[in-house]
């Protein structure tokens, strides 16, 4: 599979570009080493296409009823705009040497922290501090924070991989992770907090933390899980700690309670998934999107996917995510630089965790945290950031020795 | 070192990937569980949400009387409900505004409505039931004018309308608030009347709004079938009127009655007084009783008294109550004796005023004794010793055989709910436990209980030539389009006695009315047969108010060709002269007369009656029209006025001519009048009643001539004026009758 694309011209180039001579491509003073990884690119485009179609299918009813002008195209129009821009940036970034990012690690870190502080200082929207208004659109700093955390950790780990057993160094890394986690907690961004924690721990683990100890793996994973479990238990027993989180845990455990209120979204998500059966009701045929599944364009888009495409469709999409992650890991493993590996792995891991958490929430396998599904859920900043991250992975893939 | 670290790091990346894949696998399994294993469960849940399932109510069937007058019908009415959540979304003063205006249109208490409008926990609060079309339209118009259509909704339902509130209540019964039959025919034929509700299934979104794509599935409702009753409104009205009168005259507790077509068993009328209004069954109709119950202070006792009063007023006593029939039952004893041949109508017996059976002495109600009487006279006098004597001659076995045969040990099977169930050993003695003493009491109708419907069915068997019929109320069932679905065929249960015995007994019973205790039921011109009955109510002997009685009278007419039987019972009459002949017979006579007229049974006067009825025409010439009319009508004649003048200038027949009672006098009011003429029709071969009818149609007066005119076996042979001759209206034509050997002679086996 990897060999098939080799003799072909670089299809990521616009036709105009294809006619030009290769040297002209070093537009950013970066001398080209190799071509981007086509399978990864194809998988990204495939997921993006299916994601856009399904987001549109899931959202048009809700858009019709709930948007100011009763415009059923409201969400898809915006999402398409971001998708086009995102793909554009992805291609640009794929052509830049990713190592440039490393040079700007500190400004990126400071800028992100500053944005996270600013968003906390702005008046809350719907009780949470998440968005910075920018004209017609809004910026969600937490989306940027995910990448920043990956970039900072990748940089520091690659800088001193030998110090990954050094307690002080680990403490520094842990402190950075803790800062992000704390800022997102202040934002009242539950899913963001969880995600930061997961990314942080994942990066430490992959960075080779405690690599001289055999029990490093069980300690980190088991410890993380145990901390999470204890945290859930403590919150469940002491609602005053975090009322918001308590509520979500409570209604996850008490699945029969308040079917018209707190359990409405989850119950209807289950009805939608269950209605899908093996083959689904067909594209566009969901009944549950008729205001039953609230905000089906966002976190619960996968419920509508399951209803319309059935188990077969849902499984195929999960499989595509597997392929994407698998390909990403391959890129990471064959990258020439350790930094590139860690960056790629961090991004791929982030996507994997988000998919896992989203599907787990939609299927009522864990409390409702409100996490988006990559490529599918509505959200401009999120999609842009995701595609740009994909651009970074593609950039790394240029330097990777994929062909053995 | 660095390389080793990187190698370890790459290994860990792979482990992490595998962990993610593993979790993906778990989620895939979870999806499989939800979608493939539990799929149907969730799908059903989803459908329950998504589909709005509205019941389309089926219209309940109509009930007609035998003349196709509507007695009961259902009409569509509307329920009006408010949606407090929508109201609260519609502005601050929406609740006040809506409740005030809607309450005004529907004539409701605005405060009550407002309270419901403000119950924001609900989306559905009914504010009015049974709203009729016009008012509903007004509400809808108000809502659309003020853009409140989402706040208030209407739903169709049905309401039962009764042509007249208490008319035939005992037969019709009533329905509950959910439209389900509770009493009477409404209950007995509930399934037939109800029909099948339909369903309208539409897709809706989570906010109960309609969907952009119209999914709609309709299962049509099937309206209920309609019933055509055997109840005749004319007779029902007459029965009810006369029951009220009889009850009032005797200050009685209850009065109830049945009119039956003796040949088919069809119930022509049935009523209890007091009764209730079918449209207000939960209101106690007896105002005195209602007041009395209201004054009870103890709440529990009041509620109990109220429910007892309601149950009592709903009770169809003609089929649910049992009573000792008393002397009315002598008809059955007589039928058995005649059929078995142990007694003949002319057999004599000496009544000394008492008779001893074993160790018991039975006294005659006529203490001195009736002396020597024939069996017919014994029946006329309602002489207990004669019937005890006859019963003893008959014996227990034969008596019980007829008791059973006449249907007193079984339900009649009438198509009404709540028929009393005869219970061996409780309401009647079985053969084994009957001795001579029991037989003696039973011979004159005491020591056992029957229901009125059983009694009239048994007597109808005597009237119709010995056939025990199954009484019925519903003649036909019609589908919603009015097509006949089924017709009730008269059902003969069995031949109880022979036709000749029956005919013989009919004549005996006629003589009871003519000469005996049933005199009060005599209706001139109609041959009425009947029997009185008076019995003590059991268990009331110790009452301080003295003895309580059920008095009854049962009659049928015409005696030679019975058509209609009437039973009227008066429960607990008061007064000095209590008895069936006093309390019930006059009412029966009035109902019988109404029935005879209604069925166009021409009066058949006996020679004696006719002679007495021949009336001399008054002289009205020169009188004013009004005066002439009243003079003629006072003389029991009919008057036909011809012309527009104010004074009578001529009359036909002329003054002082003898014409039959009920005949016609034509008066002319214009000078130089031309007398109205008519062609004399051909009366030959016609019966007395047919001649009467034809003559009435032509405006001719008929003088009857011949013997045995009361017999149905006479036909016209000659007439005094030839057919086709033009004569003045009012002319008297004499018609000569002779006996003919008709079909009925052979049938009766004379």
Distance between CA B715 and CA A89 in Å, rounded? 120
As a whole number, mean pLDDT of residues B251-272 equals 92
For B715, how many CA atoms within 13 A lie in the half-sphere containing its CB?
11
DSSP line for B135-176: HHHHHHHHHHHTT-TTTEEEEEEEEEEESSTTTTHHHH-EE-
Closest-CA residue of A relative to B39 is: A274
Distance between CA A393 and CA B9 in Å, rounded? 18
As a whole number, mean pLDDT of residues B111-121 equals 82
What's the confidence (pLDDT) of residue A52? 95
Is there a contact between A365 and B27 if contact means CB atoms under 8 Å apart? yes
What's the confidence (pLDDT) of residue B306? 87
Least reliable range by pLDDT among B217-231, B307-321, B531-545, B673-687 = B531-545
Is there a contact between A273 and B35 if contact means CB atoms under 8 Å apart? yes
Q: Which residues contact A366 (CB under 8 A, 6 or more apart)?
A: A252, A357, A360
Is there a contact between A326 and B28 if contact means CB atoms under 8 Å apart? no
Is there a contact between A271 and B28 if contact means CB atoms under 8 Å apart? no
Partner residues linked to B640 by β-bridges: B666
Is the distance from CB of B653 to CB of B701 less than 8 angstroms? yes
What's the confidence (pLDDT) of residue A23? 40
Chain A residues inside the 8 Å CB shell of B209: 65
Label the pairing between strands B354-357 and B348-351. unpaired
DSSP line for B435-483: -HHHHHHHHTT-SS-B-HHHHHHHHHHHHTTSEEEPPBSEEEEE-TTS-
Taken in order B84, B88, B90, B92, the sign of the CA dihedral is positive
Q: Which residue has the higher pLDDT, A323 or B644?
A: A323
Distance from CA of B85 to the nearest CA of A (A): 15
What does the block give as tokens for B433? 């436990």
pLDDT digit string, tens, across residues B427-455: 888 888 888 888 998 998 888 999 999 99
Distance from CA of A338 to the nearest CA of B (A): 7
Q: Identify which of A64, A292, A314 has the shortest CB distance to residue B31.
A: A314
Q: Identify which of B5, B15, B30 has the shortest CB distance to residue A217.
A: B15
Closest CA to B609 of B691, B716, B525, B518: B525
A344 vs B: CB within 8 A = no
Interface of B with A (CB under 8 A): 1-2, 5-6, 8-10, 12-17, 19-21, 23-24, 27-28, 30-32, 34-36, 38-43, 45-46, 49-50, 203-207, 209, 211-212
Interface of A with B in 145-174 (CB under 8 A): 161-162, 164
A207 vs B: CB within 8 A = yes
Distance from CA of A70 to the nearest CA of B (A): 13
Is there a contact between B34 and A270 if contact means CB atoms under 8 Å apart? yes
Beta-carbon count within 10 A of B218 CB: 12
- Chain A interface disruption, residue of B3, B5, B19, most A CBs within 10 A: B5
Beta-carbon count within 10 A of B7 CB: 12
Residue B714, pLDDT above cutoff 90 = no
Residue A386, pLDDT above cutoff 80 = yes
Q: Identify which of A270, A306, A333 has the shortest CB distance to residue B10.
A: A333
Closest-CA residue of B relative to A351 is: B20
- Residue spans of alpha helices (H) in A96-221: 99-103, 105-121, 141-159, 167-186, 190-206, 216-217
Is there a contact between A338 and B6 if contact means CB atoms under 8 Å apart? yes
Distance between CA B594 and CA B272 in Å, rounded? 19
Label the pairing between strands B564-571 and B254-261. antiparallel
Is there a contact between B13 and A318 if contact means CB atoms under 8 Å apart? no
Distance between CA B674 and CA B665 in Å, rounded? 15
Q: Which residues contact B522 (CB under 8 A, 6 or more apart)?
A: B513, B514, B528, B589
Distance from CA of B46 to the nearest CA of A (A): 5
The confidence band for B463, taking pLDDT boundaries of 50, 70 and 90, is very high
Q: Identify which of B12, B20, B40 has the shortest CB distance to residue A206.
A: B12
Distance between CA B705 and CA B715 in Å, rounded? 11
Q: Radius of gyration over alpha carbons of chain A, in Å?
A: 22
A276 vs B: CB within 8 A = yes
Distance between CA B284 and CA B402 in Å, rounded? 42
pLDDT digit string, tens, across residues B368-401: 888 889 999 888 888 889 999 999 999 999 999 9
Distance from CA of B223 to the nearest CA of A (A): 34
Q: Radius of gyration over alpha carbons of chain B, in Å?
A: 37
Closest-CA residue of B relative to A348 is: B17
Closest-CA residue of B relative to A326 is: B17
The confidence band for B462, taking pLDDT boundaries of 50, 70 and 90, is very high
DSSP line for B639-692: EEEESS-SB--EEESPTT-EE-TT-EEEEE-STT----EEEPP--TT--HHHHH
b/e map B147-172, b = 16+ CB within 10 Å: ebeebbbbeebbbbebbeebbbbbbb
Q: Identify which of B2, B34, B46 has the shortest CB distance to residue A161.
A: B2
A269 vs B: CB within 8 A = no
Q: Identify which of B6, B14, B46 has the shortest CB distance to residue A272.
A: B46
Is there a contact between A208 and B45 if contact means CB atoms under 8 Å apart? no
Best mean pLDDT range from B258-272, B411-425, B629-643: B258-272
The confidence band for B708, taking pLDDT boundaries of 50, 70 and 90, is very low
Chain A residues inside the 8 Å CB shell of B208: none
Report the alpha-carbon angle B711-B712-B718, nearest 5.
90
Please state the pTM of the whole predicted model. 0.57
Is the distance from CB of B556 to CB of B459 less than 8 angstroms? yes
Label the pairing between strands B181-183 and B174-175. antiparallel
Distance from CA of B37 to the nearest CA of A (A): 9
C-alpha of A167 from chain center: 30
DSSP line for B172-236: H-EE-TTS-EEEHHHHHTHHHHH-B-EEEEEEB-TTSPBPSS--EEEE--BPPPEEEES--HHHH
Is there a contact between A274 and B43 if contact means CB atoms under 8 Å apart? yes
Cβ pairs bridging A and B (under 8 Å)? 151
DSSP line for A74-109: HHHHHHHHHHHHHHHHHHHHHHS-THHHHHTHHHHH
Is there a contact between A353 and B45 if contact means CB atoms under 8 Å apart? no
Is there a contact between A355 and B24 if contact means CB atoms under 8 Å apart? yes
Distance between CA B216 and CA B532 in Å, rounded? 67
Is there a contact between B34 and A318 if contact means CB atoms under 8 Å apart? no
Q: Identify which of A162, A208, A288 has the shortest CB distance to residue B46.
A: A288
Residue B578, pLDDT above cutoff 80 = no
Percent of chain A with pLDDT over 90: 38
- Tokens 């209540």 label which residue? B169
Distance between CA B465 and CA B560 in Å, rounded? 11
Distance from CA of B296 to the nearest CA of A (A): 48
A306 vs B: CB within 8 A = yes
Residue A22, pLDDT above cutoff 50 = no
Q: Is the peptide bond before A201 cis (omega within 30 degrees of 0)?
A: no
pLDDT digit string, tens, across residues A207-257: 877 766 667 667 777 877 888 788 888 888 887 777 777 888 888 888 777
pLDDT digit string, tens, across residues B50-74: 776 677 777 888 999 988 888 888 8
Residue B664, pLDDT above cutoff 70 = yes
Active site residue B221: no
Q: What is the mean pLDDT of chain B?
A: 82
Residue B259, pLDDT above cutoff 90 = yes
Is there a contact between A315 and B12 if contact means CB atoms under 8 Å apart? no
Distance between CA B599 and CA A37 in Å, rounded? 107
Q: Is the peptide bond before B653 cis (omega within 30 degrees of 0)?
A: yes
Task: Fill in the DSSP letter of residue B281.
Answer: T
Is the distance from CB of B554 to CB of B525 less than 8 angstroms? no
A371 vs B: CB within 8 A = no
Residue B467, pLDDT above cutoff 80 = yes
Chain A residues inside the 8 Å CB shell of B2: 161-162
- Residue spans of alpha helices (H) in B295-383: 299-314, 317-320, 330-340, 375-381
Is the distance from CB of B64 to CB of B226 less than 8 angstroms? yes
How far, in Å, are B392, B534, B540, B656 from residue B324 at the CA level? 20, 8, 13, 55
Give the 3-state secondary structure of residue A223: helix
Distance from CA of A87 to the nearest CA of B (A): 26
B326: left (phi over 0), alpha (psi -120 to 50) or beta: left
Among residues B90, B225, B271, B327, the one annotated as catalytic is B327
The confidence band for A62, taking pLDDT boundaries of 50, 70 and 90, is confident
Taken in order A18, A22, A24, A28, the sign of the CA dihedral is positive
The confidence band for B411, taking pLDDT boundaries of 50, 70 and 90, is very high
What's the confidence (pLDDT) of residue B285? 82
Distance from CA of B78 to the nearest CA of A (A): 30
Least reliable range by pLDDT among B161-170, B415-424, B663-672 = B663-672
Distance between CA B62 and CA B75 in Å, rounded? 10
For chain A, the structural domain boundaries read 28-399
Is the distance from CB of B685 to CB of B679 less than 8 angstroms? no
Q: Identify which of B5, B12, B203 has the shortest CB distance to residue A205.
A: B12
What does the block give as tokens for B86? 């929508």
Is there a contact between A61 and B6 if contact means CB atoms under 8 Å apart? no
What's the confidence (pLDDT) of residue A111? 94
Chain A residues inside the 8 Å CB shell of B24: 318, 321-322, 355-356
A104 vs B: CB within 8 A = no
Chain B residues inside the 8 Å CB shell of A207: 9
Q: Which residues contact A252 (CB under 8 A, 6 or more apart)?
A: A266, A364, A366, A367, A368
- Residue spans of alpha helices (H) in B341-395: 375-381, 384-394
What does the block give as tokens for A308? 């319309």
Task: Fill in the DSSP letter of residue A222.
Answer: I
């Amino acid at each position: 599979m990897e060999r098939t694309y080799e003799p072909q011209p670089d299809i990521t180039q616009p036709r105009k570009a294809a006619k030009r001579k290769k040297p002209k491509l070093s537009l950013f003073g970066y001398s080209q080493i190799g071509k981007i990884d086509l399978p990864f690119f194809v998988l990204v485009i495939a997921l993006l296409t299916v994601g856009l179609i399904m987001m549109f299918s899931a959202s048009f009813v809700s858009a019709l009823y709930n948007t100011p002008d009763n415009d059923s195209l409201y969400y898809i129009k915006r999402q398409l705009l971001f998708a086009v821009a995102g793909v554009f940036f992805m291609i640009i970034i794929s052509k830049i040497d990713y190592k440039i990012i490393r040079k700007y690690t500190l400004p990126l870190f400071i800028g992100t922290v500053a944005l996270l502080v600013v968003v906390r200082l702005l008046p809350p929207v719907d009780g949470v501090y998440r968005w910075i208004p920018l004209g017609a659109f809004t910026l969600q700093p937490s989306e940027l924070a995910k990448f920043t955390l990956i970039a900072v950790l990748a940089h520091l780990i690659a800088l001193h991989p030998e110090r990954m057993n050094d307690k002080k160094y680990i403490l520094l890394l842990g402190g950075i992770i803790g800062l992000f986690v704390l800022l997102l907690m202040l934002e009242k961004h539950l899913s963001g907090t969880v995600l930061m924690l997961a990314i942080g721990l994942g990066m430490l683990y992959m960075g080779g933390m405690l690599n001289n100890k055999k029990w490093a793996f069980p300690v980190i994973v088991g410890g993380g899980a145990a901390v999470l479990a204890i945290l859930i238990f403590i919150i469940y027993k002491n609602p005053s700690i975090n009322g918001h989180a308590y509520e979500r845990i409570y209604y996850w455990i008490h699945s029969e309670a308040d079917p018209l209120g707190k359990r409405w979204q989850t119950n209807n998500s289950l009805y939608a998934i269950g209605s899908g059966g093996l083959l689904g009701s067909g594209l566009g045929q969901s009944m549950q999107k008729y205001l039953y599944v609230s905000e089906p364009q966002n976190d619960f888009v996968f419920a509508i996917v399951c209803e319309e495409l059935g188990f077969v469709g849902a499984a195929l999409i999960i499989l595509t995510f597997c392929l994407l992650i698998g390909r990403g890991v391959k890129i990471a493993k064959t990258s020439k630089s350790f930094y590139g590996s860690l960056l790629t792995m961090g991004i791929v891991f982030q996507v994997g965790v988000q998919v896992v958490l989203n599907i787990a929430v939609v299927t009522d396998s864990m409390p409702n945290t409100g996490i988006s599904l990559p490529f599918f859920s509505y959200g401009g900043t999120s999609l842009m950031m995701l595609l740009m991250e994909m651009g970074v992975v593609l950039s790394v893939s240029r330097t990777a020795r994929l062909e053995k | 070192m660095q390389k080793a670290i990187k190698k370890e790091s790459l290994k860990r990346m792979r482990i992490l990937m595998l962990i993610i894949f593993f979790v993906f696998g778990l989620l895939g399994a979870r999806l499989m569980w939800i979608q493939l294993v539990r799929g149907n469960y969730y799908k059903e849940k989803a459908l329950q949400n998504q589909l709005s399932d509205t019941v389309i109510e089926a219209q309940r069937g109509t009930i007609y009387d035998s003349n196709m007058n509507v007695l009961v019908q259902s009409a569509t009415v509307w329920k009006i409900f408010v949606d407090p959540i929508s109201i609260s979304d519609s502005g601050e003063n929406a609740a006040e505004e809506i409740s005030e205006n809607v309450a005004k249109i529907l004539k409701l208490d605005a405060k009550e409505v407002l309270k419901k409008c403000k119950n924001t926990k609900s989306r559905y609060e009914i504010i009015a039931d049974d709203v009729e079309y016009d008012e509903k339209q007004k509400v809808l118009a108000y809502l659309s004018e003020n853009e409140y259509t989402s706040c208030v909704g209407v739903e169709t339902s049905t309401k039962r309308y009764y042509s007249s509130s208490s008319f035939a209540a005992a037969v019709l019964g009533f329905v509950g608030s959910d439209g389900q039959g509770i009493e009477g025919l409404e209950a007995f034929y509930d399934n037939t009347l109800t029909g099948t509700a339909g369903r309208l299934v539409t897709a809706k979104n989570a906010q109960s709004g309609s969907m952009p794509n119209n999914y709609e599935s309709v299962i049509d409702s099937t309206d209920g079938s309609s019933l055509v009753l055997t109840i005749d409104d004319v007779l029902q009205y007459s029965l009810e009127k006369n029951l009220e009168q009889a009850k009032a005259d005797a200050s009685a507790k209850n009065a109830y009655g049945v009119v039956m077509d003796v040949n088919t068993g069809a119930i022509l009328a049935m009523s209890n007084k007091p009764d209730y209004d079918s449209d207000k069954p939960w209101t106690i109709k007896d105002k005195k009783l209602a007041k009395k119950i209201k004054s009870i202070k103890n709440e529990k006792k009041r509620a109990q008294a109220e429910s007892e009063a309601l149950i009592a007023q709903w009770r169809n006593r003609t089929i649910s109550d049992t009573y000792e029939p008393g002397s009315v039952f002598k008809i059955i004893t007589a039928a058995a004796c005649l059929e078995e041949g142990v007694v003949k109508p002319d057999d004599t017996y000496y009544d000394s005023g008492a008779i001893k059976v074993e160790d018991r002495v039975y006294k005659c109600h006529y203490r001195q004794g009736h002396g020597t009487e024939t069996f017919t006279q014994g029946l006329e006098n309602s002489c207990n010793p004669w019937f005890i004597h006859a019963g003893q001659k008959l014996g227990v076995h034969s008596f019980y055989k007829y008791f059973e045969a006449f249907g007193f040990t079984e339900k009649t099977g009438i198509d009404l709910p709540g028929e009393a169930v005869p219970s061996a050993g409780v309401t009647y003695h079985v053969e084994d436990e009957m001795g001579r003493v029991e037989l003696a009491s039973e011979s004159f109708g005491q020591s056992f209980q029957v229901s009125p419907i059983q009694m009239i069915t048994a007597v109808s068997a005597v009237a119709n030539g010995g056939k025990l019929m199954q009484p019925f109320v519903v003649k036909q069932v019609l589908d919603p389009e009015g097509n006949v679905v089924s017709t009730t065929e008269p059902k003969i249960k069995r031949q109880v006695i022979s036709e000749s015995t029956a005919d013989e007994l009919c004549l005996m019973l006629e003589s009871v009315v003519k000469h005996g205790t049933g005199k009060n039921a005599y209706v001139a011109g109609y041959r009425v047969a009947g029997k009185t009955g008076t019995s003590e109510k059991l268990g009331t002997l110790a009452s301080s108010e003295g003895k309580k009685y059920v008095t009854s009278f049962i009659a049928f007419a015409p005696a030679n060709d019975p058509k209609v039987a009437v039973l009227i019972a008066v429960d607990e009459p008061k007064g000095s002269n209590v008895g069936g002949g006093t309390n019930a017979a006059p009412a029966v006579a009035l109902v019988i007369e109404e029935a005879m007229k209604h069925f166009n049974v021409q009066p058949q006067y006996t020679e004696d009656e006719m002679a007495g009825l021949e009336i001399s025409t008054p002289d009205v010439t020169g009188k004013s029209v009004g005066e002439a009319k009243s003079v003629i009508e006072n003389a029991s004649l009919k008057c036909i006025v011809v012309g527009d003048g104010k004074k009578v200038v001529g009359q036909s027949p002329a003054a002082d001519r003898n014409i039959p009672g009920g005949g016609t006098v034509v008066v002319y009011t214009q000078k130089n009048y031309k007398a109205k003429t008519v062609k004399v029709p051909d009366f030959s071969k016609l019966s007395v009643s047919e001649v009467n009818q034809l003559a009435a149609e032509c405006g001719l007066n008929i003088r009857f001539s011949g013997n045995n005119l009361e017999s149905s076996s006479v036909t016209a042979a000659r007439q005094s004026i030839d057919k086709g001759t033009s004569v003045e209206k009012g002319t008297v034509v004499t018609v000569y009758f002779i006996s003919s050997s008709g079909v009925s002679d052979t049938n009766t086996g004379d």
